[in-house]
Amino acid sequence: MHYTTLQSKITHFSIAKFSDYLQLVKVRLTMSVVFSAGVGYVLGADLSINFFLLGILLLGGFLITGAANGLNQIFEKDLDKLMTRTTNRPVASGRLSVIEAYTVSLILGMIGAFLLNYFFNFLSSLIGVLSLAIYAFIYTPLKQKSRLAVVAGAIAGAAPPVIGYVAITGTIDIWCVLLFALQFLWQFPHFWAIAWMLDDDYKKAGFRLLPSLKGRTKWSAIITFLSTGLIIPLVLFFYLENYVGLTIGVLILLLTINFTYQSYQLCQTQKMESAKKLMFGSFYYLPLVQILLIISKYL
């Protein structure tokens, strides 16, 4: 009986610890980021795809992104305690010590960088490490000091498709730059919609992440709308330069116009409901456009 109880406690501890590790790397967010790396790989590959290497790429990207998220939680552990949505994070709550979180994050980052360098090339590994450094050491500390933190975060967040593309091609060309630009521009309305909804919580930690220092203002909504509108000429360029055909080009343009309209609604109303619609719109906009780009490649 005593052995059974001890075994049960060990099992419960192991499950709880594994759950904390998943929260440390923000597994759902990391998976969505890694998806973009896979898109870059597929768009850079020949028509035949090596799924083993694709799997290695996704694993390497997952580990580096997870490491960046882990470092972010370490650096913001005291601030996370102040916000409702983050107070239960494993480092902030004390379920994981700083040393343990550091150890896990650094090991994940090093393994991820090694996989990209060993199976692909040094350039893809370098971009992965640089994106981790920008996210953890520039974006994270800037969040309390400057609204430019969003730009740093967008640079790091737009790196995954570049990593995937460079991993398979070994080079940065115009197609690679376009993939970066698409994900870079998308992040501003995506991030600001989230920041609009969480502004009260962010202020508890001293974060001022909306375009206006006053938070939810007409000016913040206008800047969000204008940033979304910048995606329209970019997707038109995809078609005009024959990167996509007419049908795919029209579908991407319609998705972009709808995304911009959602941003326009926030500009008109400045209400939480509009911000929520824009946020959810951003969730499906980017993956749908990326899937359409893949379809265009194989048509």
| Full domain range(s) for residue 270 | 173-299
For 32-75, the pLDDT digits (tens) are 888 999 999 999 998 788 999 999 999 999 999 999 999 999 99
Q: What is the mean pLDDT of residues 23-39?
A: 89
Report yes or no on 98 lying in a domain.
yes
Q: Within this chain, do residues 236 and 299 fall inside the same structural domain, yes or no?
A: yes
Q: Would you state the structure tokens that stand for residue 148, as one six-digit string? A: 């430019």
CATH of the domain at 161: 1.10.357.140
Q: Within this chain, do residues 182 and 292 fall inside the same structural domain, yes or no?
A: yes
For 187-238, the pLDDT digits (tens) are 999 999 999 999 988 888 888 889 988 889 999 999 999 999 999 999 999 9
Q: Which residues of 90-123 are buried (b: 16+ CB within 10 A; e: fewer)?
A: bbbeebbeeebbeebbeebbeebbebbbebbbeb
Where among 171, 202, 235 does a domain terminate?
171
Q: Which pLDDT band holds residue 11 (cuts at 50, 70, 90)?
A: low
Q: Within this chain, do residues 139 and 234 fall inside the same structural domain, yes or no?
A: no
* Average pLDDT value for the chain: 91
For 123-172, the pLDDT digits (tens) are 999 999 999 999 999 999 998 888 889 999 999 999 999 999 999 999 99
Number of domains composing the chain: 2
Report yes or no on 202 lying in a domain.
yes
Where among 171, 189, 206 does a domain terminate?
171
Q: State the pLDDT at residue 1.
A: 47
Q: What is the mean pLDDT of residues 20-37?
A: 89
